[in-house]
Copies of this chain bind each other. A is one copy, B any other.
Amino acid sequence: MTDVTPPSSKPRPTKERLIRAAANLFRNRGYHGVGLNELLNAARAPKGSMYHHFPNGKSDLALAAATWASDQMLRVIAEAFDPAESFRDGATTLCHKLAKLFDSAGKWSGCPVSATLFEGPDNEEFHQHAARLFEGWITEIEYHATRLDLSADQARLAAENLYLLLHGGWQLARVRRSSDVLRNLPEFLLCSESS
């Protein structure tokens, strides 16, 4: 409803199609595992057109795709915690949402940011970009923890705790091809107030 586009606007998605295709492919097979031909084919974009939007080529596109994927993750976190009445509530909702995402992504996808940036060219730019994005996730969780009445220290700890479980859990879910790993994650939350 709120997202209606003006009738005169044209669906001009070229750059965005590239970003989405890149995020999806890198997530599954890593930066080096995806060739440009395959990527451009998936995005239905012509070869040289990508260098118009991303002058530095594949690496530029990878950074953009990682940012885009990270923003999606931030939105999922917000949507899970916004209606929550306690940190544990929000965390549980988040785990279930991610479980659904995991299933819908084919039970094989890895973390889009890790796969794109950690398996990419190991330069400082990639590392720092990854660090910035991941710290953003923790900060976002921490914010919600604070909002839900945890002390600053508790909030920091709870946020890191959830982050660690999420990353480990997504990986184990991938190993077992089962989203239940993610659904069971809240069991392992330390979450002082509710224990």
Asked if A44 is at the interface (CB within 8 A of a chain B CB), the reply is no
Contact of A118 with B174 in the complex, beta carbons under 8 Å:
yes
Looking at chain A's contact residues, the main secondary structure is helix
How many monomers of this protein are in the complex?
4
Residues of B within 8 A of A167 (CB): 167-168, 171-172
Contact of A165 with B165 in the complex, beta carbons under 8 Å:
yes
Out of B28, B30, B122, B165, name the residue touching A168 (CB < 8 Å).
Answer: B165
Chain A residue total in the interface (Cβ 8 A): 39
Give CA–CA (A110, B139) in the complex, Å: 23
Give CA–CA (A166, B188) in the complex, Å: 13
Asked if A29 is at the interface (CB within 8 A of a chain B CB), the reply is yes
Residues of B within 8 A of A33 (CB): 30-32, 119-122
A-B pairs with the 4 shortest C-beta distances?
Answer: A164-B168, A32-B32, A168-B168, A167-B168
